[in-house]
Amino acid sequence: MTTRNFVRPLFSDKGEKQMQKNDVVKVTIEDIGVNGEGIGKIDGYTLFIKDAVIGDVVEAKIMKAKKNYGYARMIQIIEPSKDRVEPKCKFARQCGGCQIQQISYEKQLEFKNRKVLGNLERIGGFSPKLLEKIADPIVGMEIPFHYRNKAQFPFGKDKNGVTVTGFYAGRTHDIIANTDCALGVEQNQEILETILSFMEQYQMEPYDEKTRKGLLRHVLIRYGFTTKEIMVCLVINAKKIPHCEKLVELLQKIEGMTSITISVNQKNTNVIMGDSYEVLWGQAFITDYIGEIKYQISPLSFFQVNPVQTEKLYGLALEYADLKGDETVWDLYCGIGTISLFLAQNAKQVYGVEIIPQAIEDARKNAQINGIENAKFYVGKAEEVLPGYYADYAKAHPGEQAHADVIVVDPPRKGCEESLLETMVQMQPERIVYVSCDSATLARDLKYLCGNGYELVKVRAVDQFSQTVHVESIVLLSRK
């Protein structure tokens, strides 16, 4: 443990205390950062400390020191916060999956709600008074564990050469051996231990990222919360699995097993899945429900990982859309049609747009399965398809403009491109429902929309990912 070097100046010109790497400090945690790290200050100098909770008094060692802020590693908790709880998972601190499991669930919800509203105020420029008026309370979970219907487990070897699976430690590719994740379903453990046992019996090697040798890279598991159907997809660094029939025989005995597939990925990449998959046993998909809509889910499908909260989120989307039955609706970034088919129940016509061809294929199948005939899907980038449609409509109907009554957007973290927002404004929908997984880009896009004829009417955060720093949000905009 290194003490401060007092030869250097302790204070900057502004009177703020300066810190150096390896300094050991005592600090009270006053806030949480966007990645769940505790934030404390020493005479104006800000420190970010992983695993610390608001209210904790901690001793920490500075690992990286910038001029006005630094990053520190917690050595010990001198005085625990009243909001600190014992994590359900013993690997929570090491694992990169749960950043805030050590914080009480009530405080997690408070942090996430503040994060969304803070971004809308700071980036979007919306006044605290307006946000207080239009924001509804965050939608939390009754049981904030074992909610994930999908998990992807890497396989590798530990320091003793034993084959393990689990999750990566934070910011590394070191596997924390754990077959019983507190966020996943209990069925995962039996599946993983069956595969580990098979690998040991047949001396099957896991993939090694350094040498690019070994067979099994990842195992993808999907579970239908309503149907209880299970999918296992083995991602391999070869064309086939030796003694494959024995592994299939073991896996198909597990109750609920519906689909066993392989996906070949022999590339030197961090991308988990290969470009395609092959059925070893059963179907190429499982089915599950959100509300009354049935969905087919393949290994490559995008499907929300928390079905309990997704039903609440899509219920809000339907409520905000306020459909009467005669509306034309565009659903941008529609995935496998999850929101589109929800909306189609109450709309005249729904158009969905998604860049991934397989997802659109799934969306069309899902519409057919549910007997929905008023949903049409386009493959392509939303920022190209919608402006293209708008331009083509104007050419085909001189003097007229393409119109949408409601537009729903659910973009990736990067948000919407300005060209797409511009076309949305030109189509003059009465209402825009924006579902977001990143409140910072949401705030940026809302600033554009509200500067071009729309007003923010409703805001609500939804906890789709409890025990993590991530939060979903949904807003309603109305044309002025």
Residue numbers in the known binding site for S-adenosyl-L-methionine are 304, 333, 354, 410
Pairing of strands 328-332, 57-65: unpaired
Give how far the C-alpha of residue 172 lies from the chain's centroid of Cα atoms, to the nearest Å. 19
From the CB of residue 28, how many other CB atoms can be counted at a distance below 10 Å? 17
CA torsion 3-4-7-12 (nearest 10°) is: 180
What is the b/e burial string over 444-473, where b = at least 16 CB atoms within 10 angstroms of the residue's CB?
bbbbbbbeeebebebbbbbbbbbbbbbbbb
Write phi, then psi, for 221 (nearest 5 degrees).
Answer: -125, 130
Tell me the three state secondary structure of residue 471: coil
Alpha-carbon distances of 6 from 1, 43, 46, 72, 76, rounded to whole Å: 15, 17, 20, 20, 24
Give how far the C-alpha of residue 111 lies from the chain's centroid of Cα atoms, to the nearest Å. 17
Q: Are 99 and 36 in contact (CB under 8 A)?
A: yes
Tokens of residue 374, six digits: 């008023």
DSSP 455: E
Active-site annotation holder among 89, 181, 437, 450: 437
Question: E strands within 298-445?
Answer: 328-332, 349-354, 375-379, 406-409, 431-436
Count of helices and strands (H, E) across the chain: 10, 21
From the CB of residue 237, how many other CB atoms can be counted at a distance below 10 Å? 19
Q: Are 438 and 469 in contact (CB under 8 A)?
A: no
416 is catalytic: no
Tell me the three state secondary structure of residue 474: strand
Positions marked active-site: 437
